[in-house]
Chains A and B, each alone.
Chain A
């Protein structure tokens, strides 16, 4: 939940408040208010939205203030009409319309404003237009009929933390976007008490579940960087630079351009009509299978190769299981003219010959991992060992949302383009950004991380993660980490992993090489532990059938990984009006042999 601190008046106080990084700072332009703003705004962080608060102000004056103070939002506290709001549309700012509530509220009055403002703000009805210092009965919002996000305001102070917690768990908070605080944090009108605000903000963030990585590299109790000292300089160099580099305009521009011109993004969001009819719900497929190289993996390798170049690295290493990430890495190395070494388990090399050939054609060297079980886990070990032996000139492109911090976060952020696109694509097709469900298969979890990312904190979006049950969760031949795994350390992070009682990592099994991993990314471990995501397990057999079903119903041959996600419709019923977005992470060409053998085609 965002935080708005309103009623700023004194420059030094503003600078201090800004260090707390609220999301909005409010300046009241109303001369009858004790907090009327009559000075200038000091230099504060661009991420804080400067909000002008007005009461029935002349429109020209509002526009003049927007320009003078470079406001990013206006909050309208009087009887401003919908037409009035509409006239502000061209200003390219957020419009927050205030409504005051006492014990009851006629929500009908919101209707005319639905399309002319960005947010509603609910304040306590009192003598003054705001700043009365007491709260209204928040349960009135149980009947909130709209889907527009709103600010909650009126008498919110430190002593209400517990109430806020309860409110957050209630239905009434579903569309609550931000809290707006003012008079309860003041030494005198307009002068904020920094220490109490700080305490409030800390308590609030403890209250609110954060599903993103924290500053220490953890998702709740999962994550971190459990690496040998030999890797520390490499990982630390990346940690210190990755966010900075990703924020550079020139990086963004190059990344976006390659995604568009080379990968072929945006990938379509396709309404699967016949599939929807079969299961009597609305199914959309996010077509990552249509990307260059045939899967979502390329989103991440494009991002990381640009990162590696900016870090001055000229040798690239990667691990691969089925070969999809290896091919995506070899592809971007060819694109950038960088040396590429891909580690692949000896057993996988034998069963994935076409991808081995692809990598070689793309100029990569494929090195067999001969240790342990000679599959993905061991290929990852070998890649890490290579990195230990080549600490200066080499970048390791991890293919999934795993590894030591910052890898899970970096990979997630590169894959986040998936949900970023879903938002606007769904808005175009369904008139709303948020589906009822987002569904993705999970091995390490990179396509899932990207599919969920922009929905993690959208409470109305349910998240479903589909793991590979192999021959069945209880069969001893499975990769359903959330059920069979427990907390431990694998490949540099603390997460859920399949292991013996003695802490030795065990071999998973799935027909799908991409889901055949004994761990799950730390973000997903956290989503599982907190109950934010629902984890389901799908057997080889159910996945194969769902894959074949999609071929026949929609003319799309999915990767076996993605077929796992599709199989949930046989396990679970959705309402006819539910919008379910499934990440179709890859295409099935690479799995043809598997399909042929399985169905004796």
Chain B
């Protein structure tokens, strides 16, 4: 069983953290991953930076631009991660845009992920139907779980379709927004969380976009299996001591 699937069976609410690989410094990738695992984070999304991240707000855009300036590439990332499974056991997901993967070669990319011990991928601009028709077989061949997004505007019919194609979790985007632009959840979001909860999907949901502190984490996990924090963490590691004090960040979310 894939590490993601095993993790989803645990009887607890999951905290997943996103960070941009190669940011703030090119060699921070492994340090950050180890720091997150040590401090009790359940799952990690390693952001493969892209020049034109359409679904991201200013924080992740800026971190991506800096990471690329630092020299981050697909190949560099794979090299940094080649021994990661000697020490890290929690699920690792690569999140990135499709073009860098496409240029690397989708199958080569997937194979490399398997060799390293990557468990899944999140590719916001690879639509579910294209995945289903062209790439699902390759992803499955290399044991990778592909995670799809749904939003408050996604129709029930499409959610059912996405649920049928998924075999890990569904990434529930909290509101119509890019990353890092929301603060706090209102009635609209709560209604949406409840609506999805009542659909009894086969895949558990993890909520992302707009989770930045203990309050929003608790709100989100009332209705879902877990929550993802991205921009808030990227901001945190931007501070000089950020990487050294990952423990206090995680503690501030979970307590």
Contact = CB atoms under 8 A, between A and B. Distances in A.
Query: Do A and B associate with each other?
Result: yes
Interface of A: 224-230, 232-233, 371-372, 377-378, 381, 384-385, 388-392, 487-492, 499, 501-506
7 contacts: A227-B125, A228-B55, A229-B124, A377-B52, A391-B153, A488-B99, A489-B102
A449 to B, nearest CB: 23
A227 B127 contact: yes
Contacts of A489: 97-99, 102, 125
Nearest to B126: A226
A372 B74 CA distance: 19
B101 interface: yes
Interface residues of B, number: 42
B155 A233 contact: yes
A490 B154 contact: no
Given A230-B153, A385-B55, 9 more contacts: A229-B150, A230-B173, A372-B51, A372-B61, A388-B55, A390-B176, A392-B176, A492-B125, A505-B51
Nearest to B209: A230
B130 A391 contact: no
B58 interface: yes
A502 B75 contact: yes
B61 A389 contact: no
Given A229-B150, A230-B151, A232-B158, A502 B55 contact: no
Interface of B: 50-55, 57-58, 61-62, 65, 68, 73-75, 97-104, 124-128, 130, 148-151, 153-155, 158, 173, 176-178, 181
A389 B176 CA distance: 5
Nearest to B96: A503
Nearest to A389: B177
Contacts of B173: 229-230
Contacts of A229: 124, 127-128, 148-151, 154, 173
A491 B51 CA distance: 12
A428 B65 CA distance: 55
Given A226-B126, A226-B130, A371-B65, A233 B98 contact: no
A386 to B, nearest CB: 9
Contacts of B55: 228, 230, 385, 388
Contacts of B178: 230, 385, 388-389
A226 to B, nearest CB: 5
A503 B154 contact: no
Question: Which 5 pairs of residues, A with B, have the shortest CB-CB distance?
Answer: A503-B103, A503-B100, A229-B149, A504-B51, A228-B124
B154 A233 contact: yes
B217 to A, nearest CB: 22
Contacts of B181: 389
B154 A504 contact: no
Given A229-B154, A490-B52, A502-B73, A388 B177 contact: yes
A385 B54 contact: yes
A381 B52 contact: yes
Contacts of A503: 50, 74, 99-104
A505 B176 contact: no
A230 B128 CA distance: 12
A455 to B, nearest CB: 31
B76 to A, nearest CB: 9
Contacts of B53: 381
Given A389-B181, A489-B98, A224 B130 contact: yes
